[in-house]
Amino acid sequence: TERSYIMIKPDGVQRGLVGEVIKRFEQRGYTLRGLKLMSVEKALAEKHYADLSAKPFFAGLVDYICSGPVVAMVWEGKGVVATGRSMIGATNPLASAPGTIRGDYAVDVGRNVIHGSDTVENAKKEIALWFGEELSEWTPCAKPWIYE
Ligand code: GTP
Ligand code: MG
């Protein structure tokens, strides 16, 4: 099944949005496979956002991700990568629709609360980078009530 790497960034943790974010993914019907609160080393942040290393905001982005603990998660379920992105909203929160996480809780692109993998392929890479093999296999009892 499809999996996405979802991360509550340091501003989301500081602002007490951890429960709110988890609640939205849980209540949508997705399955939690991995979860940890962790401080991020500079090298890990740089690797995670390597595609953006040429951008002028890259150093600030890495500092932001390393500025406090993040909540790293793996969520699983049908279409979770694309649906996770639509639940999160546009990169710039001023353009994020109300009802999305960024559209409800953020204003500034450099403090946009949450990360979500953008493709299934990148999700696999990010899950390997942040979790390796440390994921939990379990079957939610609600599964037949969520999937036809
Ligand atoms: P992630 O889920 O965090 O990967 O965001 P995204 O996929 O919506 O956007 P992208 O991967 O292009 O950028 C990664 C992160 O860099 C964004 O979430 C922002 O925190 C930051 N970022 C992107 N563009 C800008 C920008 O123009 N200025 C600043 N300051 N930060 C930016
Ligand atoms: Mg991205």
Catalytic residue among 30, 70, 115, 131: 115
Average pLDDT over residues 33-61: 98
Average pLDDT over residues 52-68: 98
Q: Do the annotations mark residue 91 as ligand-binding?
A: yes
- Structure confidence at residue 19 (pLDDT): 98
115 as an active site residue: the answer is: yes
Task: Please name the residues in contact with 12: beta carbons below 8 A apart, sequence gap of 6 or more.
Answer: 18, 21, 71, 105, 113, 114
**3 state SS of 86:** helix
Predicted ipTM of the assembly: 0.96
Which residue stretches of 1-148 are H helix? 10-14, 18-28, 42-48, 58-65, 80-88, 101-105, 120-131, 143-146
Ligand 1 mutation pick, 47, 91, 112, max ligand atoms within 8 A of CB: 91
The pTM assigned to this predicted structure is 0.97
Percent of the chain with pLDDT over 90: 100
Is ligand 1 within 6 A of the CB of residue 53?
A: no
Contact indicator for 135, 73 with CB cutoff of 8 Å: no
Q: Which pLDDT band, with edges at 50, 70 and 90, does 56 fall under?
A: very high
Q: Which pLDDT band, with edges at 50, 70 and 90, does 106 fall under?
A: very high
Task: Please name the residues in contact with 111: beta carbons below 8 A apart, sequence gap of 6 or more.
Answer: 9, 11, 64
Alpha carbon nearest to ligand 1 atom 8, residue: 91
